[in-house]
Structures are given as structure tokens and as C-alpha cells.
Structure 1
Amino acid sequence: MTQATSTRRRSGPSKGDLREAAILDAARRLFGEQPYESVSIDDLARAAGLSRTGFYFYFRTKGAVLTALMSRYWETLGASHVWFDSDGPSRELLREQLRSSAYLWREHAGVMKCAPTAVATSSELRDFMTRVKSRQDERASDKISRDQRDGTATTSIAAPRLAEMISAIRDARYTQLANASDADLEAAVEDIAEAIQRLVYGG
């Protein structure tokens, strides 16, 4: 075996990486097919081709698996937050940001819908979700504050409160998108964008 071949082999995924990926793939499938509380550690281990002991080598709890999945999705989503960095209403950037998150939510709806149930028993997931929401609300609030200072956004409601209202409007609509067609998803994006524009910038 040449040195180049050896280097290529060492640079690929390790056996541990592949087993962890197998657990996450199994979780994505099982959480999409069954309620979160119905999926056991044994189910996840069996579906990943591991023993229960082997599972615990990679994850401490079922909630930790869900947290790892959610973390990957939010890393992808973070790169699409173009509206937060814009100035003024920026309607097209708002639609772009909402469209990216809506398609991501629909694609992973089976996992996303598990979060409300899982946070009750998983402190790891609860902490993660709290950080994600706080970060999103903070970025939305920062944008609105800039626009309030520039005179484009309403000042009748404080920026942090407006940011929380945006999250509530968006998240409530996203929960209805699991089986939405592309046309329905695009209509939902338009509805949410319009609601946010009216809320923050007026008619």
C-alpha cells in the first residue's frame, strides 16, 4: 500500500463516525414514523445495527440523539438568515429567509415535531432549544432595533417583543407544513412574510 493510499484511508470517516451516523439515520427514520415517546433506546440501537451497550458509547440518552439531529438542522438554517443582517423591510430577503427555513422544516418535519414532547424529559434538548430561540429572537430584535432607529419600523412595540411575536407567527404556521405541497409551502411563506411586514413596518 502506498503512502498516498494510506493517507486517503485515514482521512475518510472512522468506524465510530459511521456508527454515529447510523444511529442518527435510524433516529431520523423512526422519529418520522412513530411518536417520540414510542421510540426506545433498544429500537434505535437495533435499527442502527448496534447493541444497547454500543449505542451508549455514542449517546447517553434518546434526547441526546434528537438534540444532535436538531443541531445539524439549525447549523444549516443559520446560514440562511439573510434578512437579519439587512436594513429596512427588505421584503425579498425576508421571503428568502422564510423559504429556506420552511423547506427545511418540511423536509425534517418528522424530527421537528418531536421537539415539543422531548423537551419535557430531555434537559439537553431543552437547553439547546432555549439557546436557539434566544439567538434567533436576539438577531430579529437587533434588526428591528436598527430599523426603529432609522425610522422604518414601528416604535409602538419594543423590538424584543416584536421579535417574540415573529417567532410565534412563524413557528405556528410551520407546524402545518409537514405534508404541504410546494405551492402550499410558497403560499405559507407569503402569508408569514406579509404578517411580519405589517407587524413590524405597517401596511
Structure 2
Amino acid sequence: MVRAPVAFLMDEPLSNLDAALRVHMRAELSELHRRLSATFVYVTHDQAEALTMSDRMAVMMDGRILQVGPPYAIYADPNCLEVAQFIGSPAINTLPAEIDAEGQLTVLGRRLGTFRAAPGPVTVGVRPEHLSLGASGGFVGTVRHRENLGSDLYLHLDLEGLERVLVLRTSPGASARIGDQARFSIDPDAALLFGPHGRRLYAPIVTREIA
């Protein structure tokens, strides 16, 4: 900084700090970046650091750059299943699905809407915040675990026909208890479609069915 370089390279500078100090130092480094108007290349395995501090973010796996872009764009608009599963905590939910000849998307036996996409098997990715509890929901899961974080409640749900647990974000006041049957719906506008090889299918939605 004394020599006023045009770029700084930082390799996990906060990795050995405790949680509270890391939050404080994220703000300090972000302010330093604004004040110096220099390029910061920041390497980290911590998603919170990457998402909160960067102007642009690169996701790397096995020495390959998978996607580059603004942090929220990578979170909300991943270009492949690897990026979608890597970014976000809790991780994105993935469900097996099928698109028929008319473009109708069916997830675990429930119709989610019609998409402009070729027929065949797909994987649907949906973030925990895009699942909604409600008596009219078309899906039913058994509550296996509750994580109450104060501002949010995460429900871990077992679904018939699905090997992995589904995670749903709701308000802390939700009454669902461990062992309860919880009905929920999926927001079709927030559903991300991925092909058999994990590449994103940018398929416009034609009609919606809140399942």
C-alpha cells in the first residue's frame, strides 16, 4: 500500500480469524478497496466473503473457471449444475424431472408449468427460499430436522421418491415440527433447469402451475 500498487493479491487473508472478526474485517477490506481504487484479486473458499466483498466473482473447480460475473448473478443465474450446487448455503435443492413433447415439466409426479425446451429428462434446481409452506401446496414432505437461525427457519424434508433431503426456508414462527407432514409449493419462475450433462437450459416459461 505504501508503494501504491495497481493491484493486490490476497490469498485467504481471513481464514484464521474467528467468525466475529471475519465479519468486521470483510467490511474493513471492502472500505480499503473503495478508498484505494485499486484492483483486489481475492482468493477464498468462504462463500460469504466472495458474495459480500466482490464486484466480480470467478468460480473455479479443478483448475477450470466455470463462470465469471457479479456475485448475485452467479447465485441466481448459474450456467451449470456445478456452479449452482457450489454457490449458496444451504445448497440448492435438486430434483429429477421430465419435460414431455408439449414442454410440460413434471417434478415428482406434479406439473410445474410449460417451458420452451426439448423433451427429455432434466434436473430442476430450486433454492430453499423458493419453496413455500402452505396448505394448498402440491408437494408433501416429512420434517426430519429444524434449523432455527433466529431470522430464518430451515426445514429439512423427506419426500417420497427422493433420496436426498429437501431444504425449505420459512419464518421462525412456522408451526411444523419434527415428524409432521408439511405441504409446500415450488415457485416455477425460480426453477432452474439443467440438462443431463449439467449444462443450464435457458428455457423460457410459457405457463405456470404453482405445484
Scaled by the length of structure 2, the TM-score of the pair is 0.23
Which has the bigger relative contact order, CA under 8 A and spacing at least 6?
1
Scaled by the length of structure 1, the TM-score of the pair is 0.24
Higher percent of residues as strand:
2
